[in-house]
Amino acid sequence: RSFTGEDVVELHTHGSRAVVAATLGALNSIRGLRLAEPGEFTRQAFSNGRMSLTEVEGLGDLINSDTEEQRKQALAQMEGVQRRVFEGWRETLLGSLAHTEALIDFGEDADDVTEAALSGAVSRVRSLRAEMAARLRDGERGEAVRDGVRL
């Protein structure tokens, strides 16, 4: 399968203008065939679950990168660094939610669902909140790398 998750044809030709023009002219004569729009492969890869939204954003940043730091940051995002952080946050929230729901539903009936479980869930969510706030503050640095700084 391809980058997009769909069946595609990839042509390799010599790079002279005449060869490329003749190849495109021949392909243009095939009914229903067309050139891909800018970003179309990435859109299809996202739609087909081959890329996450943060990976798509990383690819866009990579394409538009001008500096080595921008390139490194974009590659890290494309490799899923940010996605893994968000997935960890999601797991923490879902686990805390499950403990809270268990206490609400079975708290009086079950010995293993205690106030301590709720206290642990609250503690984990508070820690997560602090981690998110720190990440948002640090995000300003990432934005400065991506967008540059005007002096």
Which pLDDT score is estimated for 5? 84
Ordered per-residue pLDDT tens for the chain, 151 residues: 688 888 888 888 988 999 999 999 999 999 988 888 999 999 999 999 999 999 999 999 999 999 999 999 999 999 988 889 999 999 999 999 988 888 888 766 666 667 777 888 899 999 999 999 998 888 777 777 777 767 7
Contact between 96 and 129 under an 8 Å Cβ cutoff? The reply is: no
Whose tokens are 């998110």? That residue is 132
The pLDDT value recorded for residue 26 is 94
pLDDT for 110: 62
> Rounded distance, CA 25 to CA 22, Å?
5
DSSP 18-81: HHHHHHHHHHHTSTT--PPPTTHHHHHHHHTTSS-HHHHHHHHHHHT--SHHHHHHHHHHHTTH
pTM check: above 0.75: no
